[in-house]
Amino acid sequence: MQKKHNFGAGPCILAASVMQQAANAVINWNDSGLSILEVSHRSADFENVLHKTQILVRELLNVPADYSVLFLQGGASTQFAMVPMNFLHKKMKAAYLDTGYFAQKAIKEARLFGEVEIIASSQDKNYSYIPDHIYNESGVAYLHCTSNNTIEGTEIFDFPTIGIPLVCDMSSDIFSRKINVRDFDLIYAGAQKNMGPAGMTLVIAKNKFLDSVKTEVPSMMDYRIFRDNDSMYNTPPVFSIYVAMLNLLWLKDQGGVEGIEKVNIKKANILYREIDRNPLFKGTANIAHRSRMNITFKATDAETEKAFLDFAESRGLVGIKGYRTVGGFRASLYNALPLSSVEVLVDAMKQFENSRKLEQSLQLA
């Protein structure tokens, strides 16, 4: 079967070797005569998988010893509510950086639990840039930011260094570049981009911050319960964790986060260069804040947009249609998308330009 070039924004492409190992494990896991889908989560074999996955997260992101690595469920969207539910204490407020669609969703949930202050927003220009975010107020429970805005195609390269706890939604760029975990008190991410298949949510949190949870929180929404039960308070998403382990082993083989970051920079540069050169396309994000994971761009008009989508699809390039509320194109260049797929896309943009030129010259003739 022909493999397509998958530029989808998530769930996204995973390496073929990871898919193959996952497929094998569904049929007969490690020659055990059992499928990974039917093993007990309390078995020693699965506990090994869980611990190995935690260790890989620690190694790949250099997670300090005083931080916990937790595997939760409910996606990043549940974190939008869980963060304020756990940390937005009475008489305090939470600060939010409003950088796009998902930041807005996080703000909406936080308002259910207390006072929210939006310290900066880029809504005035369709979230095409990262606003300045210098902030030094006291009495604030935490500052929440979104490291990569999946829909708008912007990414934060300078995180605020402040005296209050920093909470970050890293759903769409975790494991794609080096980060200093110490800059954050809590990081969360849905797994279905660079970590593995959907079903698991990664949380990395400073233990001291977790100790500050004072409110009465339902067990399944209480970070401390997951820490104290080693992410096994209830049945964890076994398959999702297993495939994440395979995928993180694959990432380690690619030279880890440092190795993949170099390739990610190269992939993004090649595509942005073509967007800037080709008169039929235009990038939508402010150049200084352009995301390396989700590259957003537009065509000169609606008819050209539709024509290029068809042109790309016929070449096996899928998933480049922009988000429904934004339009245009979005090419997601997650870790497992090979450089060669980006080259095929760039080539298609060039060929499309040439075919347009030819059509115009024939009309003139």
Site residues (CB under 6 A) for ligand PMP? Answer: 10, 75-77, 102, 146, 150, 169, 171-172, 190
To the nearest whole angstrom, how small is the minimum distance from the Cβ of residue 255 to ligand PMP? 25
Structure tokens of 288?
């200084």
Q: What gap in Å lies between CA 257 and CA 254, rounded to an integer?
A: 8
* 89: three-class secondary structure by DSSP: coil
DSSP string covering 218-254, please?
A: -GGG-HHHHHHTTT-SS---HHHHHHHHHHHHHHHHT
**Pick 67 or 127: Cβ nearer ligand PMP:** 127
Gap between the Cα atoms of 167 and 312, Å rounded: 38
Q: How far is the CB of 77 from ligand PMP (least distance, A)?
A: 3
CB 282 → ligand PMP: shortest distance, Å? 23
Between 152 and 274, whose beta carbon lies closer to ligand PMP?
A: 152
Amino acid identity of residue 86, one-letter, is N
Contact 86, 222 (CB under 8 A): yes
Q: Which residue number, 29 or 113, has a Cβ lying nearer to ligand PMP?
A: 113
Q: How far is the CB of 75 from ligand PMP (least distance, A)?
A: 3
Q: What are φ and ψ of residue 294, in 5° steps?
A: -125, 105
Contacts within 8 Å (CB) and 24+ apart, 208-212: 208/66, 209/87, 209/165, 209/185, 210/68, 212/87
Shortest distance (Å) from residue 147 CB to ligand PMP: 8
> Is the CB of 25 or the CB of 236 nearer to ligand PMP?
236
CB atoms within 10 A of CB 340: 9
Kindly tell me the number of DSSP H helices and DSSP E strands found in the chain. 10, 14
Q: Between 54 and 150, whose beta carbon lies closer to ligand PMP? A: 150
SS3 292: coil
In the complex, what is the shortest distance from the CB of residue 346 to ligand PMP, in angstroms, rounded to a whole number? 24
Please identify, using beta-carbon distances, which residue of 146 and 335 lies nearer to ligand PMP: 146
